Amino acid sequence: MLNYSVLSKNPSHFRNFSGLQLQEFDILNSKIQEQYPAYEQKRLAREDRKRAVGAGHPFTLSLKDRLLMLLLYYHLYPSSTLLGYLFCLSQTGVLKDIRKLEPLVREVLPLPEKQYEKVRRLQSIDEIEAMFPGFKAFLDATEQEIPRPKNKRKRKTHYSGKKKKHAVKTQITVNKAGLIVHKTTHTVGSTHDYTLFKHNHPSLPDEVPLSMDLGYDGVQSDYPKLNCLVPFKRRSPGRGKH
């Protein structure tokens, strides 16, 4: 089982997994621990809550380990299935733990959406290069398996032909160092990568080319002003020609 106690014994692995130095994580954890009681009281006391405050199933993981799991999710973006295996949680438990802790962490630590706001404010070449080392950015969509939906319509919309499983899809843009600078919200697994791009894509500085795979073939003709790099795809000459 992966947890803070195990991972903190190897500081270099801790940095590679979480994106933070061990000391940085400890400082962040102290802030979260301090603000958590008031945050949890406010969350549980909302007007639409059906259960009394204090009712409900307790968290399996400690707050420190839930924070670590959230950082792994944002830094490495593994599937919820893998996170569940690493932290000995169900897939549903992973997604719920992350969703419930995200708002508090956002108050203390910039997460992808806030990084995107920072990207939009970049002006000088030095600022751009600091955010995009080598003036490079990479975009792709990732799928996370979900439990088979009970609703028949959702079983169809969430079914991924690529994974041959039910899933949700997210589009991610990272810099050369792997920092997520833009992330879309989850959409149904049947959505094509390029369709998701058309609905929501990052707006990067002109100096930063956006690298994509062949799943985004056609983007250069559809978005002629976009600075992007897509592998060349050989076109079929067609049949019936003599």
What pLDDT is recorded for position 161? 84
Is 20 within 8 Å of 110 (Cβ atoms)?
no
Amino acid identity for residue 31 in this structure? K
DSSP 60-94: SS-HHHHHHHHHHHHHH---HHHHHHHHT--HHHH
Q: Give residue-wise pLDDT tens across range 186-202.
A: 889 999 999 999 999 98
Instruction: Report phi then psi at 138, rounded to 5.
Output: -135, 135
Is 206 within 8 Å of 137 (Cβ atoms)?
no
Question: Span 15-31, mean pLDDT?
Answer: 92
CA atoms within 13 A on the CB side of 118: 15
Burial of residue 1 (CB within 10 Å: 0-12, 13-18, 19+) is exposed
Instruction: Answer with the residue of higher pLDDT: 44 or 69.
Output: 69
Question: Span 91-106, mean pLDDT?
Answer: 89
Instruction: Report phi then psi at 125, rounded to 5.
Output: -60, -40
Q: What residues does each domain of the chain span?
A: 4-50+57-109, 113-229
**Which spans in the chain are helix H?**
4-7, 11-18, 22-44, 63-76, 80-87, 91-108, 112-120, 125-131, 152-157, 193-199, 219-222
Question: Span 212-228, mean pLDDT?
Answer: 92
Helix or strand or coil: residue 152?
Answer: helix
Bridge partners for 160 per DSSP: 165
**Mean pLDDT, the chain, whole residue set:** 86
Buried b (16+ CB within 10 A) or exposed e, 205-223: beebbbbbeeebeebeeee
What pLDDT is recorded for position 38? 92
